[in-house]
Amino acid sequence: MENVLRSRRVVTPGGVRPACVAVDGGRIAAVLPYDTAPPPGTPVTDLGDDVLLPGLVDTHVHVNDPGRSAWEGFGTATLAAAAGGVTTLVDMPLNSLPPTTTPAALDVKRAAARGRVHVDTGFWGGAVPGNEEELRPLHDAGVFGFKAFLSPSGVDEFPPLDPAGLDAVATRLAAFDGLLIVHAEDPGRLARAPQPAGPGYADFLASRPPAAEETAIGTLLETVRRRGVRAHVLHLSSSGALPALAAARAEGLPVTVETCPHFLTLTAEEVPDGATEFKCCPPIREAANRDALWAALADGTLDCVVSDHSPCTADLKVPDFGTAWGGISSLQLGLPAVWTEARRRGHTLTDLARWMSAGPAALAGLRAKGAIEPGRDADFAVLAPDETFTVDPAALHHRNPVTAYAGRTLHGVVRSTWLRGRRITDHGTPLTGPTGRLLERT
């Protein structure tokens, strides 16, 4: 074995226990009793009471590179990920130029990422009107699935699908067992809602009503029932859609659901006027909605928690909810933000690992990721779960120091992050060059 990590608190799929984790060839070779004496000469890292978590898997990241690399980029995003305990991310197909809607565009994106990523990085493809013939070639080129919008995406080059277009894409994907991931807000409901303008958060919230999510999810579930496509609901905000989703799963439909740190930790009531760093679509809703999302995580209706890190330059966050760019930057903060609220509500580190590592790894079919068990990659986050820190945006690796978490005190300090058996960051400082790999669906 190459090296051994020893901790009093190793988070395994079966629970938290003292253990020695033996690493060989970048993979976990064995999870051994705590007192195991490794062979003479084997380097041992004793983590004491610090927690050894499986490295987080964040399947919802907008790197925006190439094309909008002033907003973020592969170097900065993946360094932020590493500093935050995320060892694998999957990049969204839009906001970059070109969007990842053809194999040629995927090649452009891979060329932009190659040699620059600090964590393992994969790519989603996009399903837009007119690219039906590109879906199978993109699948064969290794994308993990296909993102579609049902309402305007915010960028003209990535238009939404109408119901007929959604049906056609679902039919195509079902033929090769592709995965459809959906931004589910209904355009009709959004058009009939009051339009947002000005600095007041209540007006913005009224412009993105829960019914927009609930109607779009209803449309999606009907499509899944009709076509048999595997589907995933992105960034669920409205708890009103949970009963339909739970019923669909009880019925056996192949549907999974994610939510995001901001929906679980922030509330509409606390957003100050003009504070558009809190703007995202669908929006952060009221405290009671947040409670219902936590209940759905606990009962398994929600499968995973991923960041939807969607940054922009500071000048686009004007203090007007109608015109500001929508997106929340949290790639480096997802782990402590969710843990802060989870521990307060009595959830465990095992829950955290399930929601933020195993769940997203399963979504993307990343069988080498997502758990501390023999055969998986030796990707770890070392966490001091009881220590606190106050978020200083300037100390984050995100390209633009804008975040809704600024000034908040969070529990959970990421001491170090390990990728395939090598420590890549120490207290947020990189220890190596970009050693991440580009991943393909297997």
- Give the binding site for Zn ion (CB under 5 A): 308
Cα–Cα distance between 80 and 330 in angstroms, integer?
A: 9
Question: What's the closest the beta carbon of residue 239 comes to Zn ion, in angstroms?
Answer: 19
| Residue 245 burial (CB count, 10 A) | 22
Q: Is the dihedral of CA 2, 3, 4, 5 positive or negative?
A: negative
Closer of 309 and 397 to Zn ion (Cβ)? 309
Question: Taking the complex as a whole, how short is the minimal distance between the CB of residue 90 and Zn ion, in angstroms?
Answer: 11
Q: Residues near 419 by Cβ (< 8 Å), separated by ≥ 6?
A: 55, 82, 87, 118, 119, 120, 377, 379, 435, 436
Indicate the SS3 state at residue 133.
Answer: helix
Residue nearest to Zn ion (CB): 308
Nearest CB to Zn ion, comparing residues 185 and 308: 308
Closest to Zn ion by CB, 58 or 308: 308
State the nearest-atom distance from the C-beta of 335 to Zn ion, in Å. Answer: 18
In whole angstroms, the minimum distance from the beta carbon of 44 to Zn ion comes to: 41
Specify the residue, 263 or 380, whose C-beta has the smaller distance to Zn ion.
263
CB within 8 Å of 344: residues ≥ 6 apart:
none
Q: Are 321 and 339 contacting, i.e. CB atoms less than 8 angstroms apart?
A: no
AA letter at 434:
P
3-class state of residue 151 by DSSP: coil
Contacts of 393 (CB under 8 A, 6+ apart): 401, 402, 403, 406
Which residue lies nearer to Zn ion by CB, 38 or 154? 154
- For tokens 């600090």, the residue is 118
CB of 60 to Zn ion, least distance (A): 6
Q: Position of tokens 């959906």?
A: 182
* Shortest distance, position 236 Cβ to Zn ion, whole Å: 12
Paired tokens of 265 = 């930790």
Residue (308 or 351) nearer to Zn ion, CB: 308
Least Cβ distance, residue 292 to Zn ion (angstroms) = 22
Min dist. Cβ of residue 364 to Zn ion (A) = 15
Q: Which is nearer to Zn ion, 92 or 173 (CB)?
A: 92
Beta carbon nearer to Zn ion, 182 or 391: 182
Nearer to Zn ion, 68 or 376 (CB): 68
| Ordered alpha helix ranges (H), 179-231 | 187-192, 201-207, 210-227
Spatial neighbors of 101 by CB under 8 A, at least 6 apart, are 93, 125, 126, 127, 128, 131, 134, 138, 158
Angle ∠(184,202,186) on CA atoms, nearest 5: 20
Strands 125-126 and 27-32: unpaired
Q: How far is the CB of 216 from Zn ion (least distance, A)?
A: 15
